[in-house]
Chain A
Amino acid sequence: KNQVEQSPQSLIILEGKNCTLQCNYTVSPFSNLRWYKQDTGRGPVSLTIMTFSENTKSNGRYTATLDADTKQSSLHITASQLSDSASYICVVSAGGTYKYIFGTGTRLKVLA
């Protein structure tokens, strides 16, 4: 069964600290993996997308990694800011069916 699991479910960190969010998937065949940021009361916004051949991709203070062998991805946030408080959703696209499989998200809260 195609599934995407994220951990932790929620995370609280102090402003300026780094953090790493995890995404494990069992989607096959794999097409691509995207990380979204969803602010409260808003729709998700794409941060990065990676295909099978990409190991890492950055978008400002956000760096995503992908290990296609172990079917794991991580999103690393550097020098967190209050505006990083949001839910982060990992989405894997299945080849062939071209379906999007969503994780349940990690809720991040950054405290001053």
Chain B
Amino acid sequence: ETGVTQTPRHLVMGMTNKKSLKCEQHLGHNAMYWYKQSAKKPLELMFVYNFKEQTENNSVPSRFSPECPNSSHLFLHLHTLQPEDSALYLCASSQEEGQTYNEQFFGPGTRLTVL
């Protein structure tokens, strides 16, 4: 285990549903990340939080809404998604944003299917 957990592991939702993804890290890190992983594409950075403050929003549609109540927890709230949003959503953490020599630790991901 990497010390980063994600729930649920699998999620199927309709386009009108509202759901949330949860990420928790037990590593004492200060930076947390959401990534989208689609088949045959590089990981796409969505959001970055550093010390609970959002420092990066990579032009993500507003139907994805992140929340970071503390340095250990990160949520991704989903509403009115599109079928093309189906992907593996990965959460990661690192000691601090900007120190790229420090490893990013990834969770197992949530496999999202939008019908």
Contacts and interface: CB of A to CB of B under 8 A. Distances in A.
Interface residues of chain B: helix, strand, loop or mixed (majority): loop
Contact of A93 (B92, B100, B106): B100
Given A31-B100, A32-B101, A45 B42 contact: no
B90 interface: yes
Contacts of A89: 43
Nearest to A107: B40
A100 B94 CA distance: 12
A51 interface: yes
Contacts of A102: 42-43
B49 to A, nearest CB: 15
Contact of A43 (B45, B100, B108): B108
Interface string B36-63: 0000111101000000000000000000
Contact of B100 (A45, A98, A105): A98
B101 to A, nearest CB: 6
A43 B98 contact: no
A98 B95 CA distance: 14
B108 A100 contact: no
B109 A43 contact: yes
Contacts of A42: 108-109
Contacts of B99: 98
A12 B114 CA distance: 32
Interface in B85-115: 90-92, 97-101, 103-104, 106-109, 111
B91 to A, nearest CB: 8
Contacts of A105: 42
A61 B111 CA distance: 30
Nearest to A103: B42
Nearest to A3: B42
Contacts of B104: 46, 100
B100 A32 contact: yes
